[in-house]
């Protein structure tokens, strides 16, 4: 069974400021927290899991994932980290969003991911005898990851090796999905808390300086489909 999970695995994103051209030299000078760091006393993997809880909890009518303009980017935001959702797009092309972000917030950028939830309507979707639910979801989530290339830049400078910022939940987590997302997003949503394994690419950006920033994310899947997502951020 293939669950109906639209996770922007065929999208492209670049964080860019038009005037810059060089790549970030190293992690120390990079705007991105190192992969295994613990910003605000939590792993980036942990923040990724929390971002799934945030995204699943928002109703379809105001969910930042399905928002065509970015007007709902602040819905449900709280704490020291601001979540930037990918853009819902099932066809190749270019898409844009705008968002205003407080200047003191780190930014978790959801580059591409799958949130593999259980249970599902299909009674055959579940662990085999002797297999744990975590192992089942861990394995199944990998069948959705179809990324061939992925590029992200900030202020005109590319982030090196974006594909290395790959995270998989190291244990079962839980999400409570709004039922309005069931048909458009994940048919396995029950409206109650349910187990989930998140598998994807996440970048945690350090707080950006006040002013205008542009995010463009670029990725190509194994079918050769490429999308470009551009985010115009105002940091206040």
- Per-domain residue ranges for the chain? 13-235
The per-residue pLDDT for 4 is 44
User: Taking the alpha carbons of 131, 182, 2, 56 in that order, is the dihedral positive or negative?
Assistant: negative
What are the two backbone dihedrals, phi and then psi, of residue 206, each rounded to the nearest 5 degrees? Answer: -65, 155
Min mean pLDDT across 27-36, 79-88, 171-180, 198-207 is at 27-36
pLDDT of residue 32: 94
State the chain's maximal CA–CA distance in angstroms. 57
Residues 193, 123: Cα–Cα separation, whole Å: 19
Residue 90's pLDDT band, with cuts at 50, 70 and 90, is confident
Average pLDDT over residues 105-116: 94
pLDDT for the residue numbered 15: 36
Residue 125's CB: how many other CB atoms inside 10 A? 17
* Tokens encoding 140: 């199944």
Is residue 85 scored above 60 in pLDDT? Answer: yes
Token pair 């980036």 is found at 44
pTM exceeding 0.85: yes
Q: Which pair of structure tokens corresponds to residue 111?
A: 């580059």
Strand partners, 211: 235
Query: Cβ contacts of residue 38 below 8 Å, gap of 6+?
Result: none
Separation of alpha carbons 67 and 73, rounded Å: 8
- For tokens 């206040």, the residue is 236
Element (H, E) at 93: strand 93-101
Residue pLDDT, tens place only, 10-65: 333 333 333 333 444 445 678 999 999 999 999 999 999 999 999 999 999 999 99
β-bridge partners, 227: 219
Q: How far is Cα 133 from Cα 139, in angstroms, rounded to an integer?
A: 10
Mean pLDDT value across residues 80-87:
94
Mean pLDDT, the chain, whole residue set: 87
Give the mean model confidence (pLDDT) for residues 115-134: 96
Tell me the chain's radius of gyration from C-alpha atoms: 17
Statement: residue 89 has pLDDT above 90: no
**How far apart (Å, rounded) are the C-alpha atoms in residues 79 and 71?**
20
Report the distance separating Cα 134 and Cα 156, nearest Å: 39
pLDDT at 14: 34
pLDDT at residue 27, as a whole number: 53
Q: Give me the residue label for tokens 């601001």.
A: 82
* pLDDT for the residue 221: 81
């Amino acid at each position: 069974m293939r669950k109906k999970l639209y996770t922007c695995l065929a999208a492209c994103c670049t964080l860019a400021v038009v005037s810059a051209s060089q790549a970030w030299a190293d992690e120390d000078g990079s705007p991105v927290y190192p992969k295994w760091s613990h910003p605000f006393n939590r792993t980036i993997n942990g923040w990724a899991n929390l971002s799934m809880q945030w995204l699943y909890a928002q109703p379809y009518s105001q969910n930042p994932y399905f928002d065509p303009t970015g007007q709902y980017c602040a819905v449900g935001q709280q704490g020291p980290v601001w979540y930037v959702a990918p853009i819902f797009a099932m066809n190749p092309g270019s898409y844009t969003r705008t968002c205003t972000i407080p200047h003191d917030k780190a930014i978790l950028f959801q580059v591409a991911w799958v949130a593999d939830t259980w249970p599902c309507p299909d009674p055959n979707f579940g662990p085999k005898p002797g297999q744990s639910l975590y192992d089942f979801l861990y394995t199944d989530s990998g069948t959705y990851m179809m990324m061939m290339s992925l590029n992200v830049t900030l202020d005109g400078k590319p982030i090196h090796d974006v594909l290395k910022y790959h995270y998989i939940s190291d244990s079962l987590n839980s999400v409570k999905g709004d039922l309005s997302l069931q048909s458009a997003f994940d048919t396995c949503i029950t409206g109650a808390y349910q187990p989930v394994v998140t598998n994807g690419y996440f970048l945690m950006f350090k707080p950006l300086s006040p002013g205008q920033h542009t995010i463009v994310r670029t990725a190509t899947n194994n079918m050769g489909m490429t999308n470009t997502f551009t985010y115009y951020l105002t940091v206040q």
